[in-house]
Amino acid sequence: MILSRLWPVFLLALAALSPRPAGAAESAPVTSARDVATLVTDTDRYRPGAPLHVGLRLRLQPGWHTYWINPGDAGEAPTLDVRGAGGATGRSGAIAWPVPERLRDGPLMSYAYTGDVLLPAELRPVAVEGAGDGAGDGAMVLKATADWLVCAAVCVPEHGVFTLSLPAGDPAPSAEAPLFARAAAALPAASPFAATIAPDGTLALSGEGLSSDTVRDAWFMPLTSGAIDHDAAQALSVHDGGLTLALKPGDAFHAGATLDGVVVLKDAGGQTRGLSVSARPGVVAGAPLAVAVHPAGVAGLGRILLLAFAGGLVLNLMPCVFPVLVMKAMALTRLAGGRASARLAGAGAYTAGVVGAFAALGGVILAVRAAGDVAGWGFQFQSAAFVAAICWLLFAVALNLLGVFGMGNGIAALGGAGTVRAGYLGDAMTGVLAVLVATPCTAPFMGAAIAGALSAPAPVAMLVFVAMGAGLAAPYLVLAGVPGLARHLPRPGPWMDILRQGLAFPVLGTCVWLLWVLALQAGAGAVAVLGTGLVLVGMAAWLTGLAQAMAMRDAPARRIRLCRAVALAALGIVLALLPGLGQPVTGSGAGTGGGGLAVRADGAEPFSTARLAALRAQGRPVFVDMTAAWCISCLVNERVALSSAPVQAAFHDRGIVYMKGDWTNRNAEISAFLDAHGRAGVPFYLYYPAGGGEGRPLPQILTTGLVLDALKS
């Protein structure tokens, strides 16, 4: 104990008594019982425009360490800010991080430095006019501030302010130059090998020079905290021309994004070299396409297609599809008295619309993700413009059901009236609309299917989306194709007009819901724009109906054309309003986990991966609720289960932190979390029990009893 207290005093005295070389470039030290910190440079003079290397030197007492840019499971990276004044100015860039050690402390893994450490950076002096000729005067004063954390059994944050003066002149190596050479040798080199990261976390390097003779061990350290489980074993497989490391994805792992970090390779002689890699997403030979997709080759693909079909089938019962069920019900009654061929043709058109829309939506999602952006199931509802457009379209459908105007050819055939040809087109467009409004919901079985589709090759992914579309269309196709079932449908009659008008009100209710979603996404101004559009759509519908009535009375053609022209002009103005709705409201919380939903009285706090990691490190139980304002299933689950008194009491009694991630607007952090857990949409629920155990996913449809059972298990 006495020696440990005298160590920094002894070191400081030794430094003071030792002769300093004329070329020394080191500041006065900042000392503590744990380390000695100084600012150093690699030259004893500076020249304007020439790079000057500066660095924070930490001489750590045995048993103490500081951290890398990614500290791992715990810790904090050092910071260094160096600025020049006097004869020249300049500011240091980012720290060039040497390859760190891996330090294990129980269940935690840290990336750290021990002993005599130099954290270098570069500064380019810029001469100050009139401060000297740069040949022998005009000294530059370097002033630096640094913060670092040193840890042993305890962690202590430290702070230093340093000053160092360098004269102008021809630079010559300082006494500290070997420290910079040593730090440069410890920097990770650019990797000569191609790097790929699979959706399940398998990292692969490929290229000449990799074999079991040259690589005996390897490990990976990501630049981003939480990208992998740092403490998990990294199983190594080496073959001629390549190697794979089985990484365990962490909360911040994103299956569709590049993974940056350092791979350390150890040869047979125990020598190590660090390589800086940027692993691109892709399929790794020998790695599964996704955990839930291909566990057993063809059998796994068959299973995922079956899940996709079942998910589409159950989607018919989800509340978000109810407005479209209105139009489907009207089409079914129209088919009841018709011929079998007409029923099958109508059902085929509807199926083609559903499957085609699913395939198109899947193609868009895959294209967006291939371009490096984040997209998941229901992503289009994160666009305020899309929400407004769907609201206006459903409002027009409701006005048609109320009889404000009649259906003609084209998209207006959504209700199924008009000629047979128009009715078939209407069936197809009804299928397209069904898919568009179904995407706010993720039915049971769909989560694994969509995640599998987004991590599989494009042809397999499209098969999965087609299977979901077939599931959604299947009941209608069966009802139309089985004569026995068709005979039980009610016969057309006057009651259909009353039913049609009554069913307009659920559609109007959906418009109100979309208005609420838009208010959360883009604020009050967007609500005013949407309301203006509703007025214009209503006027266009009224003028269309007026023109149809005049045509039936053989009114002058110019009046009919005028009504139609004004109606088209109104719709043109509506379309012109859409670009102004493209951006979410500022301060909505996107990027913080808050999204568009405020923290409610249920005690939920906004989701963040950093906060989640901190809570898990403390061993606290956490319930993660990934939701969105446009997700009806999410809102139903919240009202029925999560906001219920028994569940809220269980959260309180067990000390469970309730975190809510709102995906109403685009949020890369939430998208990455969903991808890391094999999900591509909401709702998604994950419970982390006390003690830091693995997260346990819950079903997508919740009940109070189901949640309470999960909390007790």
Q: Which pairing describes strands 140-151 and 155-166: parallel, antiparallel, or unpaired?
A: antiparallel
Gap between the Cα atoms of 249 and 215, Å rounded? 24
Model confidence at 603: pLDDT above 80: no
Confidence of residue 410 (pLDDT cuts 50, 70, 90): very low
Confidence of residue 416 (pLDDT cuts 50, 70, 90): very low
Domain with CATH 2.60.40.1250 in the chain: 2-186
Over range 411-431, report the average pLDDT: 54
Confidence of residue 43 (pLDDT cuts 50, 70, 90): very high
Average the pLDDT over each of 115-124, 401-410, 448-457, 482-491 and give the range with the smallest value: 448-457
Bridge partner list, 598 = none
More confident residue, 328 or 403: 403
Confidence of residue 377 (pLDDT cuts 50, 70, 90): low
Q: Which pairing describes strands 217-222 and 259-266: parallel, antiparallel, or unpaired?
A: antiparallel
Confidence of residue 363 (pLDDT cuts 50, 70, 90): confident
**Of residues 194, 185, 247, 193, the one with CA closest to residue 222:** 247
Confidence of residue 407 (pLDDT cuts 50, 70, 90): low
pLDDT digits (tens, 9 = 90+) for 225-242: 888 988 888 989 888 888
% the chain with pLDDT above 90: 24
For residue 355, what pLDDT is reported? 86
DSSP state letter for 220: E
For residue 402, what pLDDT is reported? 84
Model confidence at 386: pLDDT above 80: no
For residue 670, what pLDDT is reported? 83
Number of CB atoms found within 10 A of residue 325's CB: 15
pLDDT digits (tens, 9 = 90+) for 133-162: 444 468 999 999 999 999 987 888 999 999
For residue 620, what pLDDT is reported? 87
Please report where in the chains the tokens 């004004």 appear, as a residue. Answer: 566
Output the CA torsion 76→81→82→85 (10° steps). -160
For residue 530, what pLDDT is reported? 84
Output the CA torsion 37→42→48→49 (10° steps). -110
Model confidence at 699: pLDDT above 50: yes
- CATH 2.60.40 given to domain 190-281: yes
Average the pLDDT over each of 409-413, 441-445, 520-524, 534-538 and give the range with the smallest value: 409-413
- Give 347: exposed, middle or buried? Use CB within 10 Å, 0-12, 13-18, 19+: buried
More confident residue, 489 or 663: 663
What is the model's pTM? 0.44
Confidence of residue 20 (pLDDT cuts 50, 70, 90): very low
Model confidence at 495: pLDDT above 80: no
Over range 111-119, report the average pLDDT: 95
Q: CB–CB of 600/639 below 8 Å?
A: no
3-state SS string for 420-466: HHHHHHHHHHHHHHHHHHHCCCCCCCHHHHHHHHHHCCHHHHHHHHH
Domain with CATH 3.40.30.10 in the chain: 605-712
For residue 35, what pLDDT is reported? 95
pLDDT digits (tens, 9 = 90+) for 626-654: 887 767 677 778 888 888 888 988 888 88
Model confidence at 500: pLDDT above 80: no
What is the CA angle 98-100-104, rounded to 5?
170
- CATH 2.60.40.1250 given to domain 2-186: yes
For residue 14, what pLDDT is reported? 40
Confidence of residue 346 (pLDDT cuts 50, 70, 90): confident
Q: What homologous superfamily is domain 605-712 in, according to CATH?
A: Glutaredoxin (3.40.30.10)
Q: Which residues contact 681 (CB under 8 A, 6 or more apart)?
A: 376, 377, 378, 439, 442, 446, 447, 450, 674
Over range 562-575, report the average pLDDT: 88
Confidence of residue 291 (pLDDT cuts 50, 70, 90): very low
DSSP string, 561-626: HHHHHHHHHHHHHHHHHGGGGSSPPTTS-TTTT-TTPPP-TT--EE--HHHHHHHHHTT--EEEEE
% the chain with pLDDT above 70: 73
Over range 270-284, report the average pLDDT: 85
Q: In what order do the strands lie in the sheet with 126-127?
A: 126-127, 88-91, 79-86, 140-151, 155-166
pLDDT digits (tens, 9 = 90+) for 90-109: 999 899 999 999 998 777 88
pLDDT digits (tens, 9 = 90+) for 448-478: 556 555 555 667 778 878 888 888 888 777 7
Model confidence at 189: pLDDT above 90: yes
User: Highest mean pLDDT range out of 254-258, 329-333, 574-578, 648-652?
Assistant: 648-652
Confidence of residue 3 (pLDDT cuts 50, 70, 90): very low
Gap between the Cα atoms of 4 and 116, Å rounded? 17
